[in-house]
Structure 1
């Protein structure tokens, strides 16, 4: 049986080959940029030059992924830029506006220039998080300002992670269009947040807990699940009720949620493991590679053959487009 490792590869995020000591070679760390010290070796960073930007209202400066140590603490009396933090693991707390609020997997928060804030880990495993520091003007700056300081939840989290990893990948690809591409990816990330009314933390109703349980079940078992009936049976709820929960909290059906996870895993098999289309279709349980190719193209907008690479650089294949929403 083929096993590529962790069941949710795009949330475990091993260090990239383009990283040396956690820093992207495409652009050295600028003077005056202070990074957290209480982080593990899997942490990685990228840096861009704002002078390369071409008049965008959103300009990407730097960011990365941090595997925080359990004693992670950071405190800023002020900060000169906007920043987005996306928590993908562990537990912690953030203080903004004079009160501490819990953050965990799926929590997002934004802060704006001049704001004071503190963050700390509260669990034994340490926070795992993506972050992007950027400048914003016009309507984008106003929108970020309205949300700044209050953590909120976003579903499905993996869609944001896919875009964040695409941004990091493009930042590590030296080209004249690097800044332009990264700015557009960041606008896609912010646009995805803007398209959903952020759901502030509230006392968890039973329906929200059931949805979270079902989403976790799919994330942990998507390689063997085949459809709605399998999901409903595994969670122990009625299939029609499960569909209503997913439409309410994620805007998609459970089957679509499952399909996107399976197709993201398929991309991992093609680009990192070097399997061909027929082999990937077999691993995922498709009756034939043609059916698999149709489903893959519907999700990624490109056929799987566009992602398949052979040879020693197979692990560095770079897909041409992020997953569509």
Structure 2
């Protein structure tokens, strides 16, 4: 048996507590026992049986089983073809939801992965992370990837590019880059479209131009910074993509209906701050 214990300090949503791999001997048995964490196993080869809640199930290559905290369980290797499996032990506030989305429930803690599923490579070479700095983060990222892979329905249609995809891509780009002096040309280039066609898509989907959408993002961010009361107008202007504070002030008043200074004073009165 090989395993790694981790110290996932500060990780509350999902924290990997241990990982390991085991090539079992014939009839090797664990339990009956309980664990204080979730433990997700993947069977690389061979066979074994998992038992919990009065039910048992034979599991072979490509099979997975989930141990739920504080649940009595046991599992044992096949006498002639003992299994080789790897596992993640984990906890966190998101653990119940993620395991359910991945297809595991208390009545059904066992599932097979379809041939098209690419989850096995994510369980391989876990021990190579033993000496890696911040291995907790790498292992948690791997576990999120495993859950994401398992959550994809077996009959999910292939992703396709449509006009909605282009608009969403442009919106994501603007939300990420609104602090920079980006314009319509950069947005269109990012999504691989002509500027006129992109504008037409935005009008169809959002009833506004990309420029108006970007301006709205910047003004919403500016309002939050003005209510924060810690930055000057020039600093806020640069923080939302305007190098010229006068241009920012004009755009803010045109969009919000108040000057930045007047908006800040109004927010101060509403919150009662000094």
TM-score by length of 2: 0.50
Deviation at 1:50, TM superposition (A): 2.4
Q: How many residues align?
A: 154
Deviation at 1:141, TM superposition (A): 1.7
- Provide the C-alpha distance between the structure 2 equivalents of 1:192 and 1:56, rounded to a whole number of angstroms: 22
Over alpha carbons, which structure has the higher Rg? Answer: 2
- Secondary structure of 2:99 counterpart: helix
Q: Which runs of 5+ in 2 are unaligned?
A: 159-274
Q: Is the 8 A contact 1:167 1:185 kept in 2?
A: no
Deviation at 1:167, TM superposition (A): 4.2
What is the Cα-based RMSD across aligned positions, in Å?
2.5
Match of 1:74 in 2: 30
Match of 1:129 in 2: 85
Spell out the pairing of 1:40-189 with structure 2 (5 A cutoff): 43-51=1-9, 54-138=10-94, 140-144=95-99, 147-148=105-106, 149-156=108-115, 159-165=118-124, 167-170=126-129, 172-175=130-133, 177-189=134-146
- Provide the C-alpha distance between the structure 1 equivalents of 2:131 and 2:153, rounded to a whole number of angstroms: 31
Q: Which runs of 5+ in 1 are unaligned?
A: 1-42, 198-247, 253-325
- Provide the C-alpha distance between the structure 2 equivalents of 1:169 and 1:159, rounded to a whole number of angstroms: 19
Spell out the pairing of 1:1-325 with structure 2 (5 A cutoff): 43-51=1-9, 54-138=10-94, 140-144=95-99, 147-148=105-106, 149-156=108-115, 159-165=118-124, 167-170=126-129, 172-175=130-133, 177-196=134-153
- Provide the C-alpha distance between the structure 1 equivalents of 2:132 and 2:63, rounded to a whole number of angstroms: 31
- Provide the C-alpha distance between the structure 1 equivalents of 2:116 and 2:46, rounded to a whole number of angstroms: 14
- Secondary structure of 2:80 counterpart: coil
Deviation at 1:161, TM superposition (A): 2.4
Q: Is the 8 A contact 1:167 1:186 kept in 2?
A: no
Deviation at 1:187, TM superposition (A): 0.9
- Provide the C-alpha distance between the structure 2 equivalents of 1:165 and 1:89, rounded to a whole number of angstroms: 12
Q: Give a deviation string over 1:133-158, Cα, whole Å, max 9, x none.
A: 111313x3234265245311102488
Q: Is the 8 A contact 2:98 2:147 kept in 1?
A: no
- Provide the C-alpha distance between the structure 1 equivalents of 2:128 and 2:118, rounded to a whole number of angstroms: 15
- Secondary structure of 2:26 counterpart: coil
Q: Is the 8 A contact 2:14 2:140 kept in 1?
A: yes
Q: Is the 8 A contact 1:107 1:152 kept in 2?
A: yes
Q: Is the 8 A contact 1:86 1:130 kept in 2?
A: yes
Deviation at 1:79, TM superposition (A): 1.0
Deviation at 1:74, TM superposition (A): 1.0
